[in-house]
A and B are shown apart, each in its own frame.
Chain A
Amino acid sequence: MKPVSTYSTAAPSPQNMRVKAWLIEQKSLLALLFLIALVSMLTPHFFSVDNLLNIFRQTSVNAIIAVGMTLVILTAGIDLSVGSVLALCGALAATLIGMEIPVLVAVPTALLAGASLGAISGIIIAKGKVQAFIATLVTMTLLRGVTMVYTDGRPVTTGFTDVADQFAWFGTGNALGIPVPVWLMVVVFAAVWYLLNHTRFGRYIYAVGGNEAAARLSGINVDRVKIGVYALSGTLAALAAIIVTSRLSSAQPTAGTGYELDAIAAVVLGGTSLAGGKGRIMGTLVGALIIGFLNNALNLLDVSSYYQMIVKASVILLAVMVDNKHK
């Protein structure tokens, strides 16, 4: 067969094209940098080390949940249950710490509980053939109810024991001058980046989201991949629960309400397609940071929380529309 190369010489140089493509690819990062520049001009306090660490720490909970959400969305699913998983796992962790069960037992137990709760959603979706939106809407409502029944609608405190002090390290501690939640966030992103780019499971996640029928005919155990991502999403929601509970020294039964939407916003801002199969985990980090920086800037600028919601919504809409334009 004759090669069908019809490349014309008049085209822009490949190097220019590559730079342009890279810039388009990184536009969420550029948006973040633009945001930082804008805010630092408006408020003098913004660029202090304390404030930056503060932003990272505040972002960490949403960012960690958003990592799990990214995995789920890459398989063309959605996980609405993360906020409820967070509340229930937080209550469980607080109870265990209150009973003076060692941190090294209590924390893994809470994480395992998160994984199991996530896996339940996954099993309903994969084996029960229920749409992800419906299935996790069900588990979201169900688990919130279970949390309310379990806590009787009251906060669960971790108490004032040595164990409780140790537990407080997860939310309030520092290592090498950087808050522990930020470290946890960094580790989670690094681990999931490795998972997506260097393991079979990661490749299968993209395959299932890209074309489920083709993935199945390629001999991929689609059900296992789906259950796996929901279990991971549950685990990360439980990790977020530990940070939140540890920081407040108590678990609120209403904790995590609406967190699923912030996480989805971070994923979408990061350029991951809700249709599945397309997206990068580092985009999600940038997305979460955009939301974090925006929150912080609006606070520093003394914008009322009512207006903050409107500004946030506008920014997300703008970002997504700019993103669509390049497709």
Chain B
Amino acid sequence: MQSAILKLDKIVKTFPGVKALDGASLQVYPGKVMALMGENGAGKSTLMKVLTGIYQSDSGSIEYQGQAVNFSGPRQSQLAGISIIHQELNLIPELSIAENIFLGREPCHRFGAIDWQTMYRQADQLLARLDVKHSSRTLLGQLSLGAQQLVEIAKAISFESKVIIMDEPTDALTDVETLSLFRVINELKQQGCGIVYISHRLKEIFTICDHVTVLRDGQFIAERCIDDLSEDAMIELMVGRQLDEQYPYQDHRQDSICLELQDLRAADTPAVSFKLKQGELLGIAGLMGAGRTELMKLIFGAIPIQSGDILLNGQPLTIESSQDALANGIAYISEDRKGEGLLLELSVKENMSLCSLGELSQFGQIQHKREQAKVAEFIKAFNIKTPTQEQAIGLLSGGNQQKVAIAKGLMTQPKVLILDEPTRGVDVGARKEIYQLINQFKAQGLAVIMVSSDMPELLGLSDRILVMHQGQISAEFERHQAGQEQILAAAVGKYQTEGTL
């Protein structure tokens, strides 16, 4: 094997009370993609922060291009040629693409005025290399998330980076955008760039990566060649034990119709109709921007209804706000956990009971004992890992945060549960637990709608799949009736099943 361009060896990092890294190691080879795998809390992010100098390690060494280095901050590591592309993009929507790429190091004339011509020309060249069709004068905010990601990569390239770290780069991307990202990665490989690829999506790891490094509990577990590893074997390395089937499907469908949409539309969307049985899990597929989240928010009363009806158990509902939806037994768990799902400053308890305080209060006074008992019950049922109910929720891992979010919806005792990307940013072990919980809900007769961009998850769990394209339902598939290709074709509008549209 060729020698590594970057070598992190036996890194130890302790925070007050917690040993985040306990002998973590990682090697990056030029022209290769190294997957960095591990459950949430395994220390992947901490290791990357040590590498880029955001944290200083307690012990261990970093060797870059054959020399021992110790960066004092991300600026320094970036200038040395190590770029990191974070899960949450660090770009400014109000500035143009070029301004974002050259932020803080704009090419200047002699007297300090910005040399716009040079800046746009250089930016356009970078974009051309990445096959981005936009002009570098376009405002970043007008781009899709995928295109924004490519701008972030263009920025990394402009530093002539020799190592690029990508932290969950495809989390917000559509399948088409993911493919073009992979093309760019292959190009970077040919130029001798070493890439660290962090993702929860195993399929991608096997598609794009050459090697895998697995961390568990802050420790280095193994480095393997991707060809020597099966999916199951990798999960075993990550969780430290064997996992049985990844998508535990159970059929709990009942005959009675629970929810029915009749030509439901918002002011600027086409009308949508579908039916949902009790105990059924309806998967909603589609590309980013296909209107999936908008439809869910329409049902949930967060977007005003223009016309059409929502029927619950045959009774038409009047839904003018999320309050109405919750009161009628429809709960919605947002795709955007941090933005509109949870209150990060508040405790686990306060988050979980927020929708149910009416139930838990008398004359406006919260009955603390009942609240605590109820929350304790859900923490146990959902196997949520938290030291106490009073823990600020921002300090929990992504998987546990998501469980709290689902528990919050379920505490209102809904008849219909809408899950929007329920496993985004959730590690393999916690995913499995969430799937099992969904099965439990189904067994109790709950109707579930699940929006997901994770195709295997959608195929593995759904009783039925609706595919959305431009705000409309372009296809409907029964379980096992369709594969990934047909769904994708329907999502881009090239495939239609009879009776739809």
Binding site for B on A (CB under 8 A): 1-4, 6-8, 10-12, 17, 198-201, 203-204, 206-207, 210-211, 213-221, 277-278
Contact of B355 among A201, A210, A218 (CB under 8 A): A218
Question: Once bound together, how far apart are the Cα atoms of A11 and B19, in whole Å?
Answer: 9
Contact of B344 among A6, A210, A216, A221 (CB under 8 A): A210
Hey, which chain A residues are within 8 Å of B16, CB to CB? Answer: 11-12, 17
* CB pairs A–B below 8 angstroms (5 shown): A1-B427, A4-B397, A17-B17, A199-B366, A207-B343
Known: A203-B357, A206-B350, A217-B302. A211 touches B18 (CB 8 A): no
Question: Once bound together, how far apart are the Cα atoms of A40 and B345, in whole Å?
Answer: 39
Q: B240 at the A/B interface (Cβ < 8 Å)?
A: yes
A-B contact count, CB below 8 Å?
Answer: 121
B18 close to A221 (CB less than 8 A): no
Name B336-395 residues within 8 Å CB distance of A. 339-346, 350, 354-355, 357-358, 361, 364-366, 368, 383, 385
Query: Considering only CB atoms, which chain B residue lies closest to A221 in the complex?
Result: B323
Known: A1-B433, A198-B366, A200-B366. A220 touches B19 (CB 8 A): no
Hey, which chain B residues are within 8 Å of A207, CB to CB? Answer: 343, 346, 350, 354
B218 close to A200 (CB less than 8 A): no
Binding site for A on B (CB under 8 A): 14, 16-20, 22, 39-42, 216-218, 239-241, 300, 302, 321-323, 325-327, 332, 334, 339-346, 350, 354-355, 357-358, 361, 364-366, 368, 383, 385, 397, 399, 408, 427, 429-430, 432-433
Known: A4-B42, A8-B19, A278-B345. A217 touches B334 (CB 8 A): yes
B365 close to A198 (CB less than 8 A): yes
Hey, which chain B residues are within 8 Å of A216, CB to CB? Answer: 302, 322, 340
Distance (whole angstroms) from the CB of A198 to the closest CB of chain B? 6
Distance (whole angstroms) from the CB of A273 to the closest CB of chain B? 9
Distance (whole angstroms) from the CB of B380 to the closest CB of chain A? 15
The 8 closest A-B pairs by CB, nearest first: A1-B429, A213-B340, A4-B41, A210-B343, A219-B326, A11-B17, A219-B323, A8-B19
Contact of B20 among A6, A17, A218, A220 (CB under 8 A): A6
A211 close to B366 (CB less than 8 A): no
Question: Once bound together, how far apart are the Cα atoms of A277 and B361, in whole Å?
Answer: 21
Query: Considering only CB atoms, which chain A residue lies closest to B301 in the complex?
Result: A219
Query: Considering only CB atoms, which chain B residue lies closest to A208 in the complex?
Result: B343
B350 close to A211 (CB less than 8 A): no
Distance (whole angstroms) from the CB of B187 to the closest CB of chain A? 37
Known: A7-B18, A8-B17, A11-B17. A217 touches B385 (CB 8 A): no
Question: Once bound together, how far apart are the Cα atoms of A216 and B354, in whole Å?
Answer: 11
Distance (whole angstroms) from the CB of A313 to the closest CB of chain B? 29
Hey, which chain A residues are within 8 Å of B241, CB to CB? Answer: 2
Question: Once bound together, how far apart are the Cα atoms of A7 and B327, in whole Å?
Answer: 43
Question: Once bound together, how far apart are the Cα atoms of A277 and B408, in whole Å?
Answer: 19
Hey, which chain B residues are within 8 Å of A213, CB to CB? Answer: 339-340
Distance (whole angstroms) from the CB of B458 to the closest CB of chain A? 22
Query: Considering only CB atoms, which chain A residue lies closest to B371 in the complex?
Result: A203
- Sample of 10 further A-B pairs with CB below 8 A, known A1-B432, A203-B366: A2-B241, A2-B429, A4-B397, A6-B18, A6-B19, A7-B19, A211-B339, A216-B340, A219-B322, A277-B343
Distance (whole angstroms) from the CB of B367 to the closest CB of chain A? 9
A217 close to B332 (CB less than 8 A): yes
Question: Once bound together, how far apart are the Cα atoms of A244 and B339, in whole Å?
Answer: 44
Hey, which chain B residues are within 8 Å of A218, CB to CB? Answer: 322, 354-355, 408
Question: Once bound together, how far apart are the Cα atoms of A216 and B339, in whole Å?
Answer: 12
